[in-house]
Amino acid sequence: MQITERQTQKNNNKDQDYHYCQMLAAVVPSVNAKWEVKEVPDLQPGTNQVLIKIHASGICYADVHITKGGLGVKFPHTIGHEPAGEIVALGEGVTTRKVGDRVGVPWVQSTCGRCEWCQRGKLFFCSDQIGTGINIAGSHAEYMVAYAAATQLLPYSLSYDQAAPIFCAGFTVYSGLRFADPKPH
């Protein structure tokens, strides 16, 4: 797979013929450190994952919590959990998405499905969850990987800028209402 918009540097070792690609990302180098926009190695989608070119990534106060060492993030880390973008590559086994799909990704990408929290539908409490920008590189970058099953297709009438915050703030409000199950009086 080659993404032509990224800088590619030829490896100087003549015995190996591969390219080392770089992308820009907002990286938190350590607890309480200032965010740095810097070049980092590019990402490749693994099995059941897609590579997304990020068009918009919302910023949330959870990014501040992460920067202060909350939520168990290992540093250095690329943050961001409100992504909206276009799929540019598919990992092995992906059949439900295609290159060119416009998608967003929620906070929780995957869980164990077996613990008490998962069985009760409270995925945010699963200790084995894979969270966007938490234990998988986040969306404050040119590209990110995500599990295909977690991606949500975006309607063409919705801009990337409008879609990005839906995957945190919008989802949070919706989840609260869903869990409360309000009824008319």
Question: Could you list the pLDDT tens digit for every one of the 185 residues in the chain?
Answer: 333 344 333 334 333 333 447 999 999 999 999 999 999 998 999 999 999 999 999 998 889 989 999 888 999 999 999 999 999 999 999 999 999 999 999 989 999 999 999 999 888 899 999 999 999 999 999 999 999 999 999 999 999 999 998 888 766 666 667 778 888 88
Query: How much is the pLDDT for 60?
Result: 87
- Radius of gyration in angstroms for the set of CA atoms belonging to the chain, rounded to a whole number: 18
Q: 60 is written with which tokens?
A: 């949330």
- Looking at the chain, list the stretches that DSSP marks H as alpha helix, in order from N- to C-terminal side: 61-67, 116-119, 160-163, 169-180
The dotted CATH code for 20-177 is 3.90.180.10
Cβ-based neighbours of 51, under 8 Å, separated by 6 or more: 1, 43, 44, 45, 87, 88, 89, 90, 91, 143, 144, 145
Distances (CA, A) of 70 to 12, 52, 61, 115: 40, 26, 11, 23
Query: How much is the pLDDT for 21?
Result: 76
